[in-house]
Amino acid sequence: MAVANKKVKAEFRLRHKDGSYRDIEAVYVNLTADHRIGGIVANYHDVTQQRTLERHREEFISIASHELKTPITSLKGYVQIMQDMFSSVGDSMSTELTNKLDVQVDRLNNLIKDLLDLTRIRHGQLEMRKSNFEIDKLIDETVAELQLASKKHLIVADLKAGKKINADRERIVQVLNNLVSNAVKYSPRADKIIINSSATEEIITICVQDFGIGISAETQKKIFDRFFRLYDNKHSYPGLGLGLHIASEIVKQHSGSFSVKSEPGKGSIFCFTLP
């Protein structure tokens, strides 16, 4: 039975009289309970130009990302050679500068990976290489690495899942990295992040809590959208707005789900489940 006032969206292609095909977006609203209308209202929009531009954008992103991979890999190698050279002669200032350069190269490399993953998601090509591993051990190792990079925030791990899972190890690390990195980014005045795990017979739940700027209920509806970024009046936060979108797709492909609890000014708790 159709739910009153519920919107249902659909998209399909129609052949135009000139022989071309048009992309049509349809929105149906059930207003049978409204005595003034007593039916279902349908709106149709021709979104052909919009979809064509989106396809061109995705093609450009895919080509540009692949082309950038080679020079970035070479640049990473040259930076590491410079680090070794400066370190061996005791040039501490140059060593520090090349260490900072190395961090920025890694950041650029991660942005390129996100763009490539976005393209794979759009084409249904985000592969999962699953294996069996202990989830708490993986979280513990990931937290240890992230703590080295975080000078201001203490990352507290409270791990009680105690389970082995069958999942893509690297992809789960990618999800954890994204959640913790966001927790650091969006809590500039806080000094602690909490990550915990728990389990039932059927699912494992992993949560990352920060004490930062928080997210309004309206914004929470968009937080997993492509290219969506948080803003406030006092800070500018770097990034493409792809991390949570990619993380949610990874969890979805593991038959898991995401949830968010947050209030403006009171921090956020991001949780995801895995079977």
Residue 193 has a pLDDT of 94
Closest of 202, 130, 190 to residue 166, by C-alpha: 130
Q: What is the pLDDT of residue 2?
A: 57
CB 234: neighbour CB atoms within 10 A?
A: 7
User: What does the alpha-carbon distance between residue 63 and residue 75 come to, in Å, rounded to a whole number?
Assistant: 19
Cβ neighbours of residue 121 closer than 8 Å, sequence gap 6 or more: 245, 246, 249
8 Å CB contact between 196 and 157: yes
The rounded distance, in Å, linking the Cα atoms of 201 and 218 is 34
Residue 265's H or E segment, with its range, is none
Between 3.30.565.10, 2.60.40.1120, 3.40.50.720, 3.30.70.990, what CATH number should domain 132-274 receive? 3.30.565.10
CB neighbourhood size of 187 (10 A)? 21
What residues in the chain have per-residue pLDDT under 70?
Answer: 1-5, 231-239
Residue 1: the pLDDT is 46
Domain spanning 50-122 has what CATH number?
Answer: 1.10.287
**What pLDDT does residue 238 have?**
64
